[in-house]
Structure 1
Amino acid sequence: MEKNRILLCVTGGIAVYKAVALTSKLSQAGFDVKVMLTNNAMEFVTPLTFQAMSRNDVYFDTFDEKDSSKIAHIDLADWADLILVAPATANALGKLANGIADDMISTTLLAATSPVWIAPAMNVHMYDHPAVKKNIDTLHSFGHRFIEPSEGFLACGYVGKGRLEEPEQIVALVKENLHRSTSDILKGKKVMITAGPTREHVDPIRFFTNHSTGKMGYAIAKKAAEWGAEVTLISGPVSLEAPKNVKLVQVDTAEEMRQAVFEHFKASDVVIKSAAVADYRPAIKHLEKLKKQDGSMVMEFERTTDILKQLGEEKEHQILVGFAAETQDLEHYAMKKLQSKNADIIVANNVKQTGAGFGGDTNIVSIFHRDGSKKELPILSKEEVAEELLKDIIDLVIHKAQGQNEL
């Protein structure tokens, strides 16, 4: 199996000594590790130490091109399967959040397209400072993942949250999420995802819609494609770019979405219905603009087709996942939807909860399964939610494959 490639970016704090152990343990775990240091990091540990642990060249000078045929910081950004910033100081977080590129690490990260994980380490009061919190929120919105610091005795003498997570734990997280044998498990699987709102037109000028921005569905499509799936993304009107290696089908109304879904349904192995589809549409669509009149207006609405319910009635081999945006009695309505729609998974959230509503870069969801199990997730970036959901779907794919093999 080809080794996964990790670029370890080490910034200047006392926790640099842990980065040495991290480099060693990642190498022992079978990863190809290259290390990049800031000048401040080299005040604590020399490049030679990391070279010995990684058995690779160590990088610290943007202008030191070891191979004249390549631009080092661009080549390293393209080379990595994962970029891990550990330890990440408050200064490093500030640079990354604001696009400052004044050393090799910050310049490389601006050029990176691979996943970026950040493991902060600093004084407890620094970690709690509003500026640091704001920078962390910004980096979350970029899709970067954080490995939270642990609590304990800090080098400054304080006791609190700010210690770099232990190298063993970081390696365990990387192994769980990055080995190609896991990432390729969706290879050959056809995944259809719906995302965004629909628009139900009153006349050529006006329409009814909702607050969905499509961010959750697009995050799922991005991650599924990264994990090897053949992804079709059926999207209502949003202001997002289609993820790489994803087939985008753009629709407008609930009926257009229904038609597109059933055009691709039979060939799909997994269907994830994250779109916020209108339940009702105006009974009459006027061909000309409705003129303003005195007094109030009464408009008749009719039901749209329940796409998830129809999918549940017609599914054969497909794994069917639905979403439930609720404002109360989350578990009750999620379980009811799970049964009535014949779904395999329902992902539910309370849109009134801070950090879980439409339009944001984070979500707080619970994942309900047909067997009655439930997984409650804390506030996470939508990419992290997508990852957790796809892990559950992969478990179902494996379980279904094992069941077929036993027949």
Structure 2
Amino acid sequence: MLSEKMIAIIKSTVPVLEVHGTAITKRFYQLLFASHPELLNVFNHANQRQGKQQAALANAVYAAALYIDKLETILPAVKQIAHKHRSLGITADQYPIVGQNLLQAIKEVLGDAATEEILGAWAEAYGVIAGVFIQVEAEMYKEAEEQQGGWAGYRAFRVERKVRESSVISSFYLVPEDGGAIASFKPGQYVSVKMDIPGEANTHIRQYSLSDAPGKPYYRISVKKEEAHHGDPAGVASVYLHEQVKEGDMLLLSAPAGDFALDLEDSRPVVFISGGVGVTPMVSMLNTLVDLKSERTIAFIHAAHNDEVHALKQQVEDTVKQAQHAKAYWCYSNPVAPDAGDFHKEGYIDLPWLQEILPSKEAVYYFCGPAPFMAHINQLLLEWGVASEDIHYEFFGPKGSLEEEAEKAAG
């Protein structure tokens, strides 16, 4: 436990971290990769280039400082990050390396303001926080390995089928090469896929949501091919999966992970809202409810540019027909044929339309998609008066803030 004095010192750094947090984490990653280049095999290079990882870590450090005397407050965030760490294979012996480089980054960025007293307090605080992560992750590693069909580390899976779902998304049906059982998962969770890509110096690991219900003899991931866009390069991993991986090839998978999951104990009406490739965890949730013959009222709402890029559309329509109280709605921002009648709304999801198609706001909501899309949906639901505890969403990539996305959109 930290002393009152140490807690006071850490809290005194909160305003500084609010201003310099991203500069500190940017320098941290520079130091980390210079001293331990092997860790380049773990981190997503695209997120590094775009500054997403640095921003996410800055937010985490800021929250840790703000709630250093009430670490239970940030336990949900700890568990979310711990799921990612377990999926990536982060180990306890890597935490001292992170701590050393983080303290060095604080010292370099803050200069004379980083007194020995402040650095000493942060060193002690980091030890406490790291201990929480290590304990939580140890339990997750044990559970992943010891559950029925579970395993440690990465396991070889064969691409049994590769199916083109739209002009930009393909599904991969993956079965274990060893022929053994596979672990169940919670609808909404993801797997990490580890790839050694020809021509790439480092291993690439990416998380992909499982896009079918648990209980099948396979895992299914549905991957969007990320083309070069607005100055950002094409996605190395997604292009590799689309252009080079074929049926019969092997991929290495970690056991399913993630804290974004459908609550199967809840019997209230449920609304799934997705944008683009964010449809993947929503389909897993929908398929699960239908497989379980749930009597819940289900609304499945998906937004896409048009029919050409709308993945899993027919599957969702067929699945909805099997349920007693389920409906699907499509919203296209740029329909190829506006008079084709294969969608329900042209433009963007708005509150009047939600109020028109949903019988009531009294439901539990799950949504996923690009960050600006999620910020928009979150704002609509709150404006409608939906309780925040009934709103659940998943970020693809480093944890972000919907409030920050809303601010960006505003201006």
Provide the TM-score with structure 1 as the length reference: 0.29
Q: Considering Cα pairs closer than 8 Å and 6+ residues apart, tell me whether 1 or 2 has the greater RCO.
A: 2
Provide the TM-score with structure 2 as the length reference: 0.29
Indicate the structure with greater helix content. Answer: 2
